[in-house]
Amino acid sequence: MALCFKKQPFTIAAFIIFFLLLSLPHFSASASSNDLSCLKVSPINFTNSAKEIITNLQQVTSNLSRFTGDISHPLLLNTISDCLDLLDVSVDQLYWIISTTQNPKGKDNSTGNLSSDLRTWLSAVLVNTDTCIEGLQGTNVMGLVYADLDRVMSSVKNLLDEVILINDQLPTATSSDQFPSWMKDSDMKLLQANETTADAVVAADGSGNYSNVTDAVFAAPDFNMKRHVIFVKKGVYVENVDIKKKKWNIMIIGEGMDATVISGNRSCVGGSTPFHSATFAVNGRGFIAQDISFRNTAGPEMHQAVALRSDSDLSVFHRCGIFGYQDSLYPHSMRQFYRECTIAGTVDFIFGYATAVFQNCQIIAKQGRPNQKNTVTAQGRIDPNEPTGFSFQFCNISAENETIPTYLGRPWKNYSRTIFMQSHMSNAIRPEGWLEWDGSFALDTLYYGEYNNSGPGAEIANRVKWPGYHVFNDSSDASKYTVAEFIEGDLWLPSTGVNYTAGLVNGKKA
């Protein structure tokens, strides 16, 4: 999975973020977890190490920037440009880490679970660097920056090892089916129905403030401290939308996943890397999308072609459609929640490095190229200390054609982690369940789990016998991958107004 990149030079924005750290209004602090007991080393040593990583990243950026004017090959230019963007974002994330470590009791420190926040952001820096390395592999540029990038990877892994996992959370509820009392009435109306009362209205017919989504996003305030709602009227919007890192707290609402569609057709065969191919990409913090679809129409013969990519921490996708073929959905990094979405594709059509929970979603394998095997997931956990992985609960996994050989996943990276629980699996899922990536690669280091699934494809008698594959017989094992524990959902999801189930329930749906 070679990847793509876009240039964005280092700016004063990183330092603005240092002082505006994590001020999104829907975050709440947990008093029992916002101290430095999660660190194995002194805060001074921890922050000094983070500063050294920033210096290394800036060195790589300086070296890469020299090439952008001398390269004519579009794929390599995209790769370098996107790499510069990712390294720039990594510097911001390291400043979040430094600021939070220096002021651990700050009321705006994201979820308030310092252990989770630090591990999430360090993992994102690791992911960004790995994405950069993977994109540059096989190019003449790699030799000039590899040593510094490899040093960053090693340093971030060392810092991850210095953060102790502490699951310290607010009381867990069985479900959150009501909107929280502190939400504004206008926010609740927007979530309950397709209201047109919003900060901006997009309409292809000219009846709104903007005729395309890109212009509405560009006009949104930077580092916004409150929810900025963009209502997109029904229609097909052919554009590639990129919500940059400064665009915090944006909410996009459509008129239904079958009515409001953002469509593009970038692909690897067409000259993009998967990272750059996304029809809709979001980096800004606290993003929410509801009742809208993201499509990549490039087709199965065009190989990797992403419909949606998210690097937005604490982001939510509610009743969204995500349609493509290979690599449809790219949860690249950070903590993400998908509820009542329909996700369709062929090869590795949910792939990435993020910590993501999918609840009550329709997962559909499509007809790809002749004799092609379909794999639902390809999760990219790089290091055993990373908190990342994919968890599917109350989902329905099926295929357009039940004769297409379909597998739950394959290990893209060494510590790939994916869990399916309390979900229904159709006949399309092969009896062995999971597929190798390349021979015995990662079979003893991956972590794949299944718990209390149903349907003809959920039979475990003939599942793979890999050391890293697990059938959970104890609910306590499965609970680790619920909304409340895996993405600390009780600390931030209630104020989004999106329904969710915090833990395990006895039924098949919630």
Q: What is the pLDDT of residues 241-284, one digit of tens each?
A: 999 999 999 999 999 999 999 999 999 999 898 999 999 999 99
Q: What angle do CA 251, 253, 255 make, to 5 degrees?
A: 180
Instruction: Tell me the CA distances in angstroms from 28 to 122, 133, 277, 431, 481, one per residue in order.
Output: 21, 35, 35, 44, 21
Q: What angle do CA 282, 342, 211 make, to 5 degrees?
A: 50
Q: Which two tokens stand for residue 63?
A: 């070296």
Other Cβ atoms less than 10 A from the Cβ of 147: the count is: 12
Site of tokens 């979040």: 96
Q: What angle do CA 51, 55, 59 make, to 5 degrees?
A: 165
What is the chain's pLDDT, residue by residue, as a tens digit (510 residues)?
443 433 344 445 554 454 454 344 344 333 344 578 899 999 999 999 999 999 999 999 998 988 766 666 788 888 998 999 999 999 999 999 999 998 877 655 578 889 999 999 999 999 999 999 999 998 888 988 999 999 999 999 999 999 998 865 444 443 444 333 333 444 555 555 444 479 999 999 999 999 999 999 999 999 998 999 999 999 999 999 999 999 999 999 999 999 999 999 999 999 898 999 999 999 999 999 999 999 999 999 999 999 999 999 999 999 999 999 999 999 999 999 999 999 999 999 999 999 999 999 999 999 889 889 999 999 999 999 999 999 999 999 999 988 889 999 999 999 999 999 999 999 999 999 999 999 999 999 999 999 999 999 999 999 999 999 999 999 999 999 999 999 999 999 998 999 999 999 874 444
What pairing do the DSSP bridges indicate for beta strands 350-352 and 374-379? parallel
Distance CA 385, CA 378 (A): 19
Known catalytic residues?
348
Other Cβ atoms less than 10 A from the Cβ of 469: the count is: 18
Contacts of 422 (CB under 8 A, 6+ apart): 393, 394, 451, 452, 453, 504, 505, 508
Q: Tell whether the torsion through CA atoms of 228, 233, 234 and 240 is positive or negative.
A: negative
Q: Using one digit for the tens of pLDDT, what is the confidence trace for 180-206?
A: 333 344 455 555 544 447 999 999 999
Q: What is the DSSP string of 357-375?
A: EEES-EEEE---STTPPEE
